[in-house]
Structure 1
């Protein structure tokens, strides 16, 4: 890393750009990482795009569950597109510079989309809860209007909160080092560069994490405790297996996404490690969007049949 990219520690001038360190500590594999993440990005775009397309054109997939899955796939494309293109540019050009405005914009979009993902996963759990625990009222409780309202709420509820949080963070004065030890503009590495007390900002991060991660996660766990209890009461093993298969995919995604995100933002400050933070971030920002289509496709017979029909055509 060029030492000229650092500002003197005593310089109190407000920073106007940052350096996203990313994976600069592995200089000999930069092009290998570029190719690796480029392939992952292409896989995410194609796989999630295919699921979104299938749910729109196949008559069998015109149900609330697949309506939510289509929105989830579209969300994943938006989510990784807020992170991976900038990461690829940094790996390809080795410049790593990002302006203060661009950094704030990236952080705001990443957090808004992450909040949407948390809420949408909770909505999908509620859909499975109604379908299995109250099947007779399912068409009434999950009609098209209700589905649209749930999805719309998931997309917009987090917007004002995350805009406000981003504004508060970038109202701080940043001076001294301008190096963010991360592959995107994440809040915790950025707060370490502030010249003033960040206690209020850190508390806000915890509060927002509880509201948009911990609470939806607990609601999902509550839904699945009811679902599992209901499934175990079903008379036939075939019915139990079918019910489990429709829920296990969603539960796998929930554990992978929420587990890594909650550990990242709610662990004690004393246990914060920049290297560990980057690895955990890879799970919920890149690995989960890549695995989601695979998880849903391999464990869903309707999606597999729709994919076969599309390929045959």
Structure 2
């Protein structure tokens, strides 16, 4: 039986990946921060078969302990401070966890595995935010990285550190440069879930309006359930590598509002949405769209859920489960 260790198992991707790996017959272990982490109950509800290990990317000894307990053949490093807006207010903490945390995990694996390093495979969750001030459209694996947030900078550090350990120690270490991927399990601080929750509340009559930032920003949005499948496919390859995972299509925040409000039976959302400069980024990433040709050709990966299906799924979930924050 294959054994997998997932850091960040309590997040959106960790929950979907845990479900997927259990379906594949894996023994799943998850690293979770804090003895009284409020998200532990969510993980135990969704992944009752997973074994949870208390640990922290900033506590090197806890990583070694987690590796010794789980003895994984595959490690998925999904843990990070992943809310981009938060990274400007807490740049140092974001850099430590999202950047140096990757180094800590890589070094822990190297020391723990010792002579059997070739028996362990590592996945790093890189991000389209690394492209930032995009230098070509669409973005692919060879596109110059120009991050525009402390979060993006930290992700670049982790990305290149993963490449360095692959090239220095022969580690089977791959990075997935994932473009925006969403689901009903997305945290309420992210724009897609902020919209789906508000639309459901407005349709119920519990909320009068929605306050937003930049409505013209464009993103390549996909479904998280599709994207975790790509993570797994990377670690099944004989050779490690880096892959862009994206739909290849782009929609604006206005498009998101169109589909979300329509899903709730509201045709004209203009009177219900206000803009506020407080929600504008100091340095905006205006257009992200990925070229996943390499993933299509090498991995055989294709997204299965469309943008419209994704948004409707999220609105319906928030209509059926009012107040749930995952």
TM over 0.5: no
Larger radius of gyration: 1
Q: Could you say which structure has the greater relative contact order, defined with CA pairs below 8 angstroms and 6 or more residues apart?
A: 1
TM-score by length of 1: 0.28
**Structure number having the greater helix percentage:** 1
TM-score by length of 2: 0.27
